[in-house]
Chains A and B, each alone.
Chain A
Amino acid sequence: MSTASLALSNTAIQRTPAHTLAIYAKEAKYEFLKNLRLRVYTASVISFPLMFYVLFGLVLNAKERIAGMGVPTYLIATYGTFGVMGASLFGTASGLASDRGLGWLQVKRASPMPPFAYFAAKVILSLIFSTIVVSLLLVLGIGFGGVRMPVLDMARLMGTLMAGSLPFSAMGLAIGYFAGPNSAPAAINLIYLPLSFCSGLWVPYIFLPKLVQKIALALPPYHLSQLALGVVGAGRHEPAITHWEVLFGFTLICLGVARIGFQRDQGKLYG
């Protein structure tokens, strides 16, 4: 039987690295276009952090000071964290849950697409939208909130938040593998919004109730926001390495959960 099969021209088709790279690039490009045209995505991911920032940072408390600095500067770090978290969770989880549950991922898996390209595209998408949100926050802060920051600090803030997108992309993949196609957005909000509040992204940490302050220490967004606040000079002076360790460990846990979901899907009707 194998001889008969070999009778077919069985020339192994190998991809060149350039071809593989082209696939990753195109997958990311269309993932970006797809979401850019999705109003639900752009509205929840970009508009919400900006609206909150304008309201609480520029309209209501612009003249107040907190942790030795103007509120508009402080809130760029916390709403930046909030925005990055939203872009990353929605960028990965909702698309994955719907692709999985409604059969599209199966069409992709049946094709010769390198499986990792699919996930990479979602992570890249999250990074791009995270960059957009943080950039817009900076533009608003500098333009209307009197925020003054050395360019180097801006770059460091951006870099910190970009890196912080990765744990939440991993978390999004984990949610995407366990949420249903229609319940995913609700599931994300159910996690995203309480996490944001308890981590001090809306109300600064020092104003949180004592109990919530204790809870915050266990929450990944708290640690990312402290790193971002550290860049602008308003951190709580915990060692940065601790925050990075927490985020790194959290990423590994999420990837582990996502992997369980990935393997669970292999034997199912859909996946």
Chain B
Amino acid sequence: MIPNLAKIQTPRYESQRERTLVASLENASKNYGSLRALRNVNFSLSAGEVLALLGPNGAGKTTAVKLFLGLIEPDSGKTQVFGGNPRNPENRMRTGAMLQVGKVPETLRVGEHIDLFSTYYANPMPLNEVLVAAGLQKLRDRKFGDLSGGERQRTLFALAICGNPDLLFLDEPSVGLDVEARRILWKEIRRLVDRGKTVLLTTHYLQEAEALADHIAVINKGEIIAEGTPAAIKALASGKRIRCITMLNETTLLQIPGVTDVRQDREAVEIHVREAETVIRTLLELDPSLSGLEITTAGLEEAFLTLTQENETSTRYH
């Protein structure tokens, strides 16, 4: 449907989605002095999807969000939101944002903050609906300065959704939330998507990306290093992890065909392999005294680690 963008994205990760483009970064680069925050980043958001931008701290996630919000300009490349400049007032009217903030005016009450932000929009949600959606019913008259960390996050989330926007940017929304609050947040994000909203969320919680996103872009050191469905990302690092206690040393283990990595873990070793069966056969032949054998599938967490590490290696040697 949008051939030029499909080409830009790494083809092997691209799923066959029916795409109505809502927002995109095209070859966007951004430097802060000598610090390279983003380098030739391409990715796009389609209507009705949740895209998770997954990466460690300092990877460039917030910079990407700020580009989409028109808070900063790319040094090169292009940002598009609803087919235009993110700074257009009409686009801002259809966009909501939750950013990481150092200090919010503390003497205003939760309800007052929401009331003010609702006024900015043409068709805001009723205050009570916003309070329920963000789990703030009981905190309406509480001053922001008297809120706990999680309650503050929820208030910022409320400000992002109160205008009933079509497109939401959530920068690390679940930082500081307890399990219950995170559950409410996830439920609310899913509800927004059910109503046709588009969401970009950044996170370094892999579980969160897997639970919410239709599409994950893994970012590290300012570059998108993988993109695709959670299943596709998982498949990238498909493989198993064998844990056992063995007399064999690391060098020997690494020579076994199919072994990709070996790590010492207390008295045991953790062996990363492509296929478990053949390696186990060899292991048992080489070391009959082998014990404590466990085999597990590499999760997304693992995938994420593998991806970022591979990237570091490749930048180091090329």
Interface string of B137-165 (1 = CB under 8 A from A): 00000010000000000001001000100
Residue B120 lies at the interface, judged by CB distance under 8 Å to chain A = yes
Q: Which of A94-110 contact B (CB under 8 A)?
A: 98-99, 101-104, 106-107, 109-110
Q: Give Cα A107–Cα B103 distance, bound, in whole angstroms.
A: 11
Q: Give Cα A22–Cα B80 distance, bound, in whole angstroms.
A: 30
Q: Give Cα A110–Cα B171 distance, bound, in whole angstroms.
A: 13
Give B216 Cβ to nearest chain A Cβ, in Å. 22
Q: Which of B10-56 contact A (CB under 8 A)?
A: 19-22, 24, 32, 47
By the criterion CB–CB under 8 Å, are B90 and A107 in contact?
no
By the criterion CB–CB under 8 Å, are B107 and A102 in contact?
no
Give A36 Cβ to nearest chain B Cβ, in Å. 8
CB-CB nearest in chain B for A38? B107
Q: Identify which of B69-77, B207-215, B276-284, B301-309 touches chain A.
A: B69-77
Q: Identify which of A1-9, A54-62, A133-141, A196-204 touches chain B.
A: A1-9
A-side interface residues, number (CB < 8 Å):
42
Residue A52 lies at the interface, judged by CB distance under 8 Å to chain B = no
B-side interface residues, number (CB < 8 Å):
52
Q: Give Cα A106–Cα B93 distance, bound, in whole angstroms.
A: 16
CB-CB nearest in chain A for B97? A110
Residue A237 lies at the interface, judged by CB distance under 8 Å to chain B = no
On chain A, the residues within 8 Å of B84 by CB distance are: 5
CB-CB nearest in chain A for B92? A112
Q: Give Cα A36–Cα B31 distance, bound, in whole angstroms.
A: 41
On chain B, the residues within 8 Å of A102 by CB distance are: 101-103
Nearest first, the 4 A-B pairs at minimum CB distance are: A5-B83, A102-B102, A37-B107, A102-B103
By the criterion CB–CB under 8 Å, are A10 and B82 in contact?
yes
Q: Identify which of B109-117, B183-191, B242-250, B263-271 touches chain A.
A: B109-117
Interface string of B82-96 (1 = CB under 8 A from A): 111000011011111
By the criterion CB–CB under 8 Å, are B122 and A19 in contact?
yes
Q: From B22, B93, B107, B122, give the contact of A34 (CB < 8 A).
A: B107
Q: From A22, A23, A30, A110, give the contact of B71 (CB < 8 A).
A: A110
CB-CB nearest in chain A for B1? A4
Give A102 Cβ to nearest chain B Cβ, in Å. 3
By the criterion CB–CB under 8 Å, are A267 and B122 in contact?
no
By the criterion CB–CB under 8 Å, are A15 and B71 in contact?
no
On chain A, the residues within 8 Å of B94 by CB distance are: 13
Q: From B80, B95, B103, give the contact of A181 (CB < 8 A).
A: B103
Residue B99 lies at the interface, judged by CB distance under 8 Å to chain A = yes
Q: From A1, A12, A101, give the contact of B5 (CB < 8 A).
A: A1
Residue B108 lies at the interface, judged by CB distance under 8 Å to chain A = yes
Q: Give Cα A111–Cα B158 distance, bound, in whole angstroms.
A: 13
By the criterion CB–CB under 8 Å, are B82 and A111 in contact?
no
By the criterion CB–CB under 8 Å, are B47 and A8 in contact?
yes
By the criterion CB–CB under 8 Å, are B99 and A5 in contact?
no
On chain A, the residues within 8 Å of B20 by CB distance are: 4-5, 7-8
Residue B4 lies at the interface, judged by CB distance under 8 Å to chain A = yes
Residue B297 lies at the interface, judged by CB distance under 8 Å to chain A = no
CB-CB nearest in chain A for B113? A30
By the criterion CB–CB under 8 Å, are A4 and B19 in contact?
yes
Residue B293 lies at the interface, judged by CB distance under 8 Å to chain A = no
Give B91 Cβ to nearest chain A Cβ, in Å. 9
Given the interface pairs A8-B22, A12-B90, the reply to whether A106 lies near B99 with Cβ below 8 Å is yes
Q: Which of A1-53 contact B (CB under 8 A)?
A: 1-2, 4-8, 10, 12-13, 15, 19, 22-23, 26-27, 30, 33-35, 37-38
Given the interface pairs A34-B107, A181-B103, the reply to whether A10 lies near B83 with Cβ below 8 Å is yes
Residue A113 lies at the interface, judged by CB distance under 8 Å to chain B = yes
Residue A269 lies at the interface, judged by CB distance under 8 Å to chain B = yes
By the criterion CB–CB under 8 Å, are B83 and A1 in contact?
yes
Q: Give Cα A138–Cα B156 distance, bound, in whole angstroms.
A: 43
On chain A, the residues within 8 Å of B96 by CB distance are: 111
Q: Give Cα A37–Cα B143 distance, bound, in whole angstroms.
A: 10
By the criterion CB–CB under 8 Å, are A26 and B71 in contact?
no
- Interface-centre pick from A22, A34, A271 (highest chain B CB count, 10 A): A34
A-B residue pairs in contact (CB < 8 Å), sample of 14: A5-B20, A6-B83, A10-B82, A13-B94, A23-B119, A26-B115, A26-B119, A30-B115, A30-B116, A106-B71, A106-B101, A110-B95, A111-B96, A112-B95
Q: Give Cα A264–Cα B130 distance, bound, in whole angstroms.
A: 35
